[in-house]
Amino acid sequence: MKFDTPAGANPIDRQKVIGRPQDRLDGPLKVSGLAPYAYERHDVAPDAAYGVMVGSSIATGRIVHIDSKDAEAAPGVLAVVTAANAGPLKKADSHTAKLLAGPEVEHFDQAVALVVAETFEQARDAARLVRVDYASAKGRFDLKKEKAGAPPAPDGFAKAASKAGDFEAGFKKAAVQIDQIYSTPDQAHAMMEPHATTARWDGDQLTLWTSNQMIAWSVRDTAITLGIDKSKVRLVSPYVGGGFGSKLWIRADALLAALGAKATGRAVKVALARPQIYNNTTHRPATIQRIRIGADKNGVIDAIGHESWSGDLPGGGAEIAAIQTRQLYGGANRMTAHYLATLDLPEGNAMRAPGEAVGLLALEIAMDELAEKVGVDPVELRIRNDVQYDPEKGPNVPFSSRKFVECLTTGAERFGWNKRNPKPGQVRDGRWLVGMGMAAAFRGAPATKSAARVIVDGKGRVTVETDMTDIGTGSYTILGQTAAEMLGVPLDHVTVNLGDSNFPASSGSGGQWGAASSTAGVYAACVAARAAIAQKAGFNADDADFVDGHVVAGNRRVKLGDAAGPDGVTVVDQIEFGDLAKKYVQATFGAHFVEVGVDVETCEVRIRRMGGAFAAGRILNPKSARSQVIGAMTMGVGAALMEELIVDTRFGYFVNHDMAEYHVPVHADVPHQDVVFVDELDDKATPLKAKGVGELGICGAGAAVANAIYNATGVRLRDYPLTLDKILEGLERT
């Protein structure tokens, strides 16, 4: 099915199952401990051996010699795998650095060997006996030092630079100007489930039970890396304990497990230890951002410029932090640019709404500064600068749906924004200085090709199969809801099977495209199934409806199972998106509101309450969508107040590489969160009129915290995270 015209009325609009809060289909398995994760697949590999990775102790240079004799002689050891004995390996385009180093070392803790033994403890102890001699080289580890010489970034998933009008001239003549530098640190994904894989070879057929977000991509990259045909690779990942972008591609655990299994003739399990995850896998790169805004005395923007600097290994990409500035606010004169420094740190890559998440941390403080400078309420300022079309491309490219103003007004009313004292440092509650802040939320709404198989058996039960993954977001449930709505059966009559490359290739989970795309793929398969069942039962397919477990047309009513027949009906179809995304800007919007307390003596920050209003098309399952948004808002608190990878700029590694020292918010850090979804049906997004929502909640949340801290204390912080020492220093200056 091709989606190239706006969606009209269809069975999804009945909303008997879709659009209603539903318990997660996978919930009982997860809370009972019965959902099998990758490292726990003892059923498929009862005799598995265990592998432990040896990581590089230098950041850049060469391996001179690896002495593995002592390790090989240790009790229980079955093999020691290195680049020297692993056979020819290639590097897929998805990877910036090799997954197994040799002889070059590209970053600290890059895998240099795998020790395989009968038990994990034997493998762990033997890994310490591997001796590696290196010839280290001088590295580049400090973004601030490398910023001046950073060239323009190459184009990636988006253009690295854009412009409209004459920014420099417009900014120069503006009555009111904002020109500030903001910075965000390197950050880690910090998912609960580590990168983990169980690998087994059956002849020349490789199966990886692995924790992965994008099955089809990873089949491709595994085949490329190992130099085998894609048909020889199967990936299975039905349950993923968090990924946030770090598991979009295979990482060292998957490759090493495959190599270890090949070397030993046994199934092999490999899980990266928590400290290895931070330096061996990917992270969100640090940014330095300059934002310039020129406006009239009423705060209406005429010129807006956003430049961002980030770093990565040679061949890597930039953090596209200015991407939201291209479309969020109006202004005739515009400029965005990204610069990419070469850094010899572990690979920078996608993490929790890449681009907008860190870009809005800067942009939305700048907007708060503009609001104060012109004496306009921050909510009103954003309303004045709303635009219903792409401000870079002009009125001929409107938004498919843009309910930004509704989010602002609804969120402000629910939060009690009118009670805010606009003068900083005026509200106290005992020992606490109290302040309110707000920020816009914006995230693109891409959609991509996605396929599914739908099976209807003779009892009227429906099975959905697709390689779509559930990374804790509720994919099982919304795909089941889609099939139930389309085929007119209760949700408990639908079985959903996910995360297996033997199933039709879906969009996968990432980039906020997963829910909208994969449900559209199931929709397409259900349309085909409806036609096949109607034809089989002798109905005119255009007249047949599927309601209450029956196929109905005119005065004739047949049970769904009877219509499918004893052999049932099986169909495979996919959704392909046409050029609507070129004719319309497709995006999601929201508004964050935060109240903080800042201890007047210690400057400790406490979140008192959070609120948000969001527009993301049809909300398929309000229960799981709310859960996603409050989780994302919590991540926004982490980005604002605590998340920071500390770089040892002498040796090129992240020092705080565990959960004890890399801090993320816990329950005590985030009290009440009020989330409301603004009614919206976007008929140009997907046949379900839905858009993704999973990453929207983090976009802008941290800036709302920063603005609330300013309102509480009068201290304007532009360097994340907003730790108490920075507030103390600011108070001392005021």
**Which residues are known to be catalytic?**
695
How many Å apart are CA 292 and CA 167, to the nearest integer? 10
Strand intervals (E) in 138-214: 162-164, 176-184, 196-202, 205-210
344, β-bridge pairs = none
Q: Number of helices (H) and strands (E) in the chain: give both, helices first.
A: 18, 30
**Over the range 484-502, which residues count as b (16 or more CB within 10 Å of their CB) and which as e?**
bbbbbbebebbbbbbbbbe
Q: Given its phi and psi angles, is residue 510 left (phi above 0), alpha (psi -120 to 50 degrees) or beta?
A: left
How many Å apart are CA 700 and CA 152, to the nearest integer? 26
Q: Which helix (H) or strand (E) holds 77?
A: strand 77-81
Query: 332 is written with which tokens?
Result: 């005739």
Q: Which of 724, 191, 97 is nearest to 509 (CA)?
A: 191
Residue 20: Cβ within 10 Å count: 15
Query: 417 is written with which tokens?
Result: 């924004």
Q: What count of residues does the chain have?
A: 734
662, β-bridge pairs = none
Residues 6+ apart with CB under 8 A from 492: none
**Are 608 and 595 within 8 A, CB to CB?**
yes
Residue 157: Cβ within 10 Å count: 13
CA dihedral 686, 162, 188, 340 (to 10 degrees): 150
**Are 636 and 702 within 8 A, CB to CB?**
yes
**Are 113 and 66 within 8 A, CB to CB?**
yes
At residue 294, the 3 state secondary structure works out as strand
Place of tokens 């969020």: 328
Query: In a 10 Å sphere around its CB, with 0-12 CB exposed, 13-18 middle and 19+ buried, how is residue 247 labelled?
Result: buried
Q: Which helix (H) or strand (E) holds 729?
A: helix 724-733
How many Å apart are CA 398 and CA 393, to the nearest integer? 9
Residues 6+ apart with CB under 8 A from 227: 88, 89, 90
